[in-house]
């Protein structure tokens, strides 16, 4: 297997690094985190530079990047600003994938070019108060009335809904169907009468708002359906490998940032008359971090390569997602340990990683669910 990057990929990554050094300095990252502020300026710059079009086909205004291209981009972005990488995935990638694969020609023509230019943002809403890991147990109900759908229900944990122009909303359209059937994806304008969005307070990823959505007699036209009616869950399943690659890339990049910060600190900090990087226990922690991050990256690249070849990789993508998420959590925890009291202070960046990393083991599938997925695939 060839794990080397192409010349174009190396040049693109270097261009991205220079772009992020210029447009996303650490002072900006800290300001967005402390102010719980959406990084609008960064995303405007990403749009100007054409970076928002990576997951969008050239025919619809994007650059038509591969899954590997997207993974490389998200890893680098997360290494600079992990919340921004999560926001990119939430507001750009999910919509580009869903509409690109399942939208009709009119939806692709009108929405994808504007998404690539940064003119519109999306959010994705699946979870509900009573359906988290058991996501297909959703109860939000959409009833057909003539040329409209009337939707009632409540959604939870919807990232970026407050800054979104459209929400990809999953709702039940056939209550009599089995749990994993009778679900449809809708394109919801959050300004539609009957929609109420409330922001939830959370531990980390402060620049990416988290919301609950209340839907009361919300009326949507029949043209708001994305894909086939009652086939929404099947469509979601088809994109899981792609989703897990993206989340793994974010985890790898963020974990790399933890290692870079921990290494820099231990090379400067002196105790007992020597740099703490010279202590064997410190070196062992650094070596473990390097080893685990490298392994997570290889798992990511394998999964992305399988996606690009069109090979189903439910097990491989779950392994990459699980291992990379737990690697990020361990990297942040070890970084805190090596920095001691300094890592506990809000003026240093390790505490942000410590707060942000925990969601990696929850969002996109908990560690427990991913282990079930892996074991189930082993027994087929």
**Residues labelled as active-site residues:** 243
Buried b (16+ CB within 10 A) or exposed e, 341-378: eebeeeebbbbbbbbbbbbbbebbbebebbeebbeeee
CA distance 209 to 71: 23
Q: DSSP letter for 92, please.
A: I
User: Do the strands 183-188 and 148-159 form a parallel or antiparallel pair, or are they unpaired?
Assistant: unpaired
Q: Please calculate the CA angle 152-157-159 and round it to the nearest 5 degrees.
A: 105
Q: Is 181 exposed, middle or buried (0-12, 13-18, 19+ CB in 10 A)?
A: middle
Segment holding 357, helix H or strand E: helix 350-357
Taking the alpha carbons at both ends of the chain, their separation in whole angstroms is 26
User: HEC states along 64-89?
Assistant: CCCHHHHHHHHHHHHHHCHHHHHHHH
């Amino acid at each position: 297997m060839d794990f080397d990057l192409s010349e174009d990929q190396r040049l693109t990554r270097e261009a991205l690094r220079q772009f992020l050094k210029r447009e996303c300095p650490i002072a900006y990252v800290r300001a967005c985190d402390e102010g719980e502020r959406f990084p609008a300026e960064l995303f405007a710059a990403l749009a100007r530079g054409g970076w928002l079009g990576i997951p969008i086909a050239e025919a619809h205004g994007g650059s038509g990047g591969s899954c590997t291209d997207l993974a490389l981009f998200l890893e680098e972005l997360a290494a600079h600003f992990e919340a921004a990488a999560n926001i990119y995935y939430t507001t750009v990638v999910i919509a580009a994938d869903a509409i690109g694969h399942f939208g009709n020609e009119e939806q692709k023509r009108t929405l994808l070019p504007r998404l690539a230019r940064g003119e519109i943002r999306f959010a994705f809403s699946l979870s509900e108060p009573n359906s988290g890991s058991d996501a297909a147990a959703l109860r939000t109900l959409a009833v057909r009335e003539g040329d409209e759908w009337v939707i009632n229900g409540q959604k939870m944990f919807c990232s970026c809904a407050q800054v979104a122009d459209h929400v990809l909303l999953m709702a039940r359209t056939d209550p009599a169907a089995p749990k994993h059937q009778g679900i449809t994806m809708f394109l919801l304008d959050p300004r539609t009468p009957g929609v109420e969005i409330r922001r939830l307070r959370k531990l980390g990823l402060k620049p990416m708002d988290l919301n609950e959505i209340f839907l009361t007699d919300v009326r949507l036209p029949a043209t708001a359906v994305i894909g086939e009616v009652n086939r929404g869950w099947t469509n979601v399943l088809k994109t899981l490998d792609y989703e897990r690659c993206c989340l793994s890339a974010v985890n790898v990049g963020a974990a790399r940032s933890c290692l870079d910060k921990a290494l820099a600190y231990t090379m400067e900090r002196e105790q007992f008359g020597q740099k703490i990087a010279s202590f064997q226990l410190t070196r062992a922690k650094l070596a473990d971090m390097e080893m685990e991050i490298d392994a997570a990256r290889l798992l990511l690249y394998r999964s992305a390569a399988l996606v690009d070849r069109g090979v189903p990789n439910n097990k491989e993508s779950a392994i990459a997602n699980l291992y990379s998420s737990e690697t990020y959590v361990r990297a942040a925890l070890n970084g805190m340990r090596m920095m001691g009291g300094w890592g506990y202070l809000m003026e240093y960046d390790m505490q942000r990683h410590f707060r942000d990393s925990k969601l990696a083991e929850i969002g996109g599938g908990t560690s427990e669910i991913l282990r079930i997925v892996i074991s189930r695939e082993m027994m087929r």
